[in-house]
Amino acid sequence: MDKIYLKFIQLLNPVLSRTGVDTDQLYQILRIKLIIDERRPKVMFAQRQNNKKKVQSPWFVSFITVLMGIFIGLVLFLNKMPYVGQTIYFSVFMVLMSLTLISDFTTVLIDTRDQFIILPRPVNDRTIAVSRILHISIYVLRLALLQGLPGLVMIGFIDGLAAVPVFFIQILEVTFISIFLVNIVYLVLMKFVSPQKFKDIINYIQIAFSILIFGAYYLLPKLINVSILKNISILSHWFSYILPPVWITALNELLFHHERANMITSLLAIIGLVVPLFGLWLVAKVLAPGFNRRLSIIATSDGSAGTPAKVKTEGKSGLMDKIANLVATDPVENAGFRITWKLATRSREFKMKVYPAFGYIPIYFLYFTLNGKGQSLAERWENVKAGHNYIILAYLCIFLLMAALSNVAMSDRYKSAWVYYTTPISEPGKILSGMYKAILVIFFVPYSLFWGAVIVGIWGPAAINDVLLAILVGIIYGILMALFMIKGLPFSKPVMIKQSGGRIVTTLMTMILLGGIGVAHYFLMKWETVIWIAIIPFFLITWIMLHYYKKTTWESLEMAEDL
């Protein structure tokens, strides 16, 4: 596949070499970059796969992209009213493409190694700049074609064969506009934030992206009423005239639905053709040069030790100090608490894996509770408010604890954990209990209290005891999970470690236990006093279990094999 692109680019050689590009070097750089891309794990799918070394085959990634294309292509069939199907299609197309570009391609764009590998070699700036532009183009076109392929086929069935080449042009339009948008996002970010912050923000965009995809997958089918959508009249809203997907759709309306087209349609279609080209010109001529300069600043300010660039200083956190000394009094436990707190809130890898859970939980809640066929959204929400399902939300918060716990022992840089093994720690359980308390204090407890406050706000103070009990159950479940499944010091294991055999059984057992308590809680909710009383033994159990967790010995811990 990549060979075809490279061959195609070689056709451009005469033009390129006239502008001062060394075409042989260009070919080599692109070839190596494409190889690296192919061997690089993709961010979008990285969460679901555990083994980091085993890179998914490019065919699998392509397959998923095509699948996505089929999924969004289905809306094309909503073509009874003008504009509807295609406008939705191209909006989703644009959002998906821009987000994939930002979340998956940023690492490629700011590959700081280029500074040390390519720049000292006799390669001129123009060659580097062109190689970067072509690399992006190849990536984007590949994405656009795979994602648009199902749509191309479908439109052939809907509007006839002639619509296929036109649709191809429309895909190019939407692609160019996406590139333009992404460039603007990058430029704005680079202009206003420091390189370090820039990477953090990209990290947060990636997290938001995964929440969005997750939410769309679970909630859109529940929220969207197809029969209403079918009859929506897009052009009756003034703002639709400034939406790029509407301009792009206009071309199809003009050519294949003359009967409902008018002057405005032709005008929009022309805008749709001109704006993407203008945007591309703007990117190439005006934005790209500044972009490359900023990019090299990001690269150099990061990798080079000698440059006295701004160092990110971490101020003393008074709050953390106070909490740490309060909940973890033992020095070893205190150390475990602080190291977990700091690494968990600073490591991008950990955030990428755990923070999406913040968004998944309310999405799951709505997915489980917003039921009722044929009712309007407001009616369904009234049903939720009338019932006692808030307990589901309170228990779903445990999901965040699970996500944090299952990642807290793992790190790409697990080798730094040698310190635990060279220092004379006789009771590693103290570090573990410090780690566990840190996770409770920074993630689970505040998050549960937040949703607890929301619950009490909506359902009234009768819910307070339920929220408290759910938090205690969560803490107990977390200790069980930590005892039997995590078995590692904070950030001390490689991302993939062999799962020991009985683990699935223990996971299942603890899950069943959690489910059982939850169901029992649900049925006992009617009696407020029962719940209040239940809090007492659960509190004691929590306290005793923490006590035993602190006694964990070296023998029951797993460590990396290649420290």
Partner 1 sequence: MDILLILRTNKKLSMSETPLIQIRNLSKFYGAKQVLKNLSLDIYPGQVIGYIGPNGAGKSTTVKILTGLIPDFTGEVIVDGISMAKDPQRIKKLFGYVPENAEIYDVLTPLEYLDFIGKLYGMESNTLEERATKLLAAFGLANNVNDRMDTFSKGMKQKVLLIAGIIHNPKIIILDEPLSGLDANAVIVVKELILRLAKEGKTIFYCSHMMDVVEKVSDRIMLINKGEVIADGTFESLKQNHSDTLERIFSKLTGNEHSGDDASAIINALD
- Residue 561 has, within 13 A of its CA and on its CB side, a CA count of 4
- Residue carrying the six token digits 């500074």: 115
**What x/- string results for residues 2 through 41 when contact with partner 1 is judged by CB under 8 A?**
----------------------xx--xx-xx--xx--xx-
Question: Which C-beta is closer to partner 1: that of 39 or that of 80?
Answer: 39
Q: Map residues 95-124 to x or -, x wherever contact with partner 1 holds by CB under 8 A.
A: -----------------xx-xxxxxxxxxx
Taking the complex as a whole, how short is the minimal distance between the CB of residue 509 and partner 1, in angstroms? 38
Binding mask 479-518 for partner 1 (x = CB under 8 A): ----------------------------------------
56 forms part of the interface with partner 1 (CB under 8 A): no
The distance of closest approach from Cβ of residue 120 to partner 1 in the complex, given in angstroms and rounded to an integer, is 4
φ, ψ for residue 493, nearest 5 deg: -120, 150
Work out how close the CB of 55 gets to partner 1 at its nearest, in angstroms, rounded to a whole number: 9
Rg (CA), the chain: 28
DSSP 410: B
Q: Provide, rounded to whole angstroms, the least separation between the CB of residue 522 and partner 1.
A: 50
Residues 84 and 236: beta-carbon distance below 8 Å:
no
| Residues of this chain, 282-321, that bind partner 1 according to CB under 8 A | 300, 303-309
Bridge partners for 493 per DSSP: 410
Minimal distance in Å, beta carbon 117 to partner 1? 6
Residue 32 or 188: the one with the smaller Cβ distance to partner 1 is 32
Burial of 310 (0-12, 13-18, 19+ CB in 10 A): exposed
CB of 136 to partner 1, least distance (A): 18
Question: Which CA distances in Å does 33 have to 37, 54, 63, 136, 415?
Answer: 6, 19, 22, 10, 29
Least separation, in Å, of the C-beta of 293 and partner 1?
11
User: By C-beta, is 117 or 462 nearer to partner 1?
Assistant: 117
Residue 122 burial by Cβ neighbours in a 10 Å radius (0-12, 13-18, 19+): exposed
Residue nearer to partner 1 on the CB measure, 305 or 319: 305
Q: Are 249 and 82 in contact (CB under 8 A)?
A: no
Q: Which of 326, 45, 367, 66 is nearest to 210 (CA)?
A: 45
Q: How far is the CB of 300 from partner 1 (least distance, A)?
A: 8
Q: Which is nearer to partner 1, 298 or 479 (CB)?
A: 298
Tokens of 482: 């930590």
What is the Cα–Cα distance from 110 to 112, expressed in whole angstroms?
Answer: 6
# residues near partner 1 by CB under 8 A? 30
∠423-426-429 over CA atoms, to 5°?
105
Our CB check for partner 1 shows the closer of 23 and 317 to be: 23
- Rounded Cα distance between 50 and 148, Å, is 29
DSSP state of 317: -
Q: How large is the angle between the packed helices 163-192 and 288-303, nearest 10 degrees?
A: 50
Q: Which is nearer to partner 1, 131 or 249 (CB)?
A: 131
Compute the least distance from the CB of residue 308 to partner 1, in Å. Answer: 5
Name the residue nearer to partner 1 (CB basis): 8 or 116: 116
Residue number with CB closer to partner 1 (124 or 233): 124
Residues forming contacts to partner 1 in the complex (CB under 8 A) are 24-25, 28-29, 31-32, 35-36, 39-40, 112-113, 115-124, 300, 303-309
